[in-house]
Amino acid sequence: MNTKQELIARLESAFPGAKDTIAAILADYRITRETGREGDLRKRITAFLAAKKIDGLSQKTLKNYREMLGAFAAQADKPAARITADDVREYIGYLANDRGLKDSSINTHINTLRSFFGWLDSEDLIKRNPTRKIKSLKIDRAKSRRPLTQEQLERLRDGCRSYREKALVEFLVSSGCRLGEIVGLRADAVDWQGRSVVVLGKGNKERTVYFSVRAKLMLQEYLAQRKGGDALFASSRAPYEPMQARGVERILQQIGERAGEARRVHPHLLRHTFASNALNAGMDITIIQHLLGHTDPKTTLIYAELAPRTVKYEYERVVS
């Protein structure tokens, strides 16, 4: 229950039967408490972000935490110590019904709140963690991770309208790069003869990734036609700065919509498709692990999905 709802409830107790009238009068007003604890939640969020920065979290993660916790603070509007599990559940309902977020996005918000309130609890700044009994929404992971079929990939290619879009799709689906690894790549860093480029992955670890002949042709045509920029993927407008992560995501989503793909097309989907295609083509799992930049082969198996026909072929090749 937020501050306005609490005020309406208290006024209704003083004026029985007038709840609807009171609510209508206060509908256009934002109600806050004028107490010494005003802004307490935002102060706690600031302290949490500072602690996480010291812990070494990336700027991107800190930015996401700041945005999600700021959105929660705008809705909760009460001191951190007074927030209850019902407040958190009400906020989850707001994310689903008012903002229309998908279950996966809502789970990201829930995990952020768990991290925040877990930190407050460990620092003895609250008596009870309101997220302790909050469960994540169930998501069909297998369905969400399913790679694109060859037919879907061809439709995606048909949905491209420019050489930049074609180059982006071909590079991602043939290299298996993460979104953060392609943003800011310089065109002069590419080894065109070897069809490779060194990227900076998680943990600031460098690795060499490779791309297909088709990706090479699309990239070269794109670079020859564009007006400027040093990045491999640059903005189409002056001063032709490197494309940002959200710009790449937006372009892929638009391509997917044109192609009639029911799912949202995003860089990770193309990364999954690369891994599965490589595995189905017979590439050793340890090589795929290296190309994806995974330290644990179990992670690679999550990304790669074997087609039933490949399983049958390998069985008959070895056993029959």
Looking at the annotation, which residues are catalytic?
Answer: 178, 202, 268, 271, 294, 303
Distances in Å between the Cα of 179 and the Cα atoms of 62, 138, 189, 249, 276 are 17, 26, 17, 8, 18
Q: Is the dihedral of CA 262, 267, 270, 276 positive or negative?
A: negative
Terminus-to-terminus CA distance in the chain, angstroms?
Answer: 66
Cβ neighbour number for residue 289 with a 10 Å cutoff? 20
Distance CA 229, CA 276 (A): 33
Task: Measure Cα distances from 226 to 68, 110, 222, 231, 232 in Å.
Answer: 37, 42, 6, 11, 11
Residue position matching structure tokens 């937020």: 2
Beta strands in the chain (DSSP E): 196-200, 206-210
8 Å CB contact between 249 and 262: no
Q: 125 phi and psi, to 5 degrees?
A: -95, -15
What is the number of other CB atoms lying within 10 angstroms of the CB of residue 243?
23
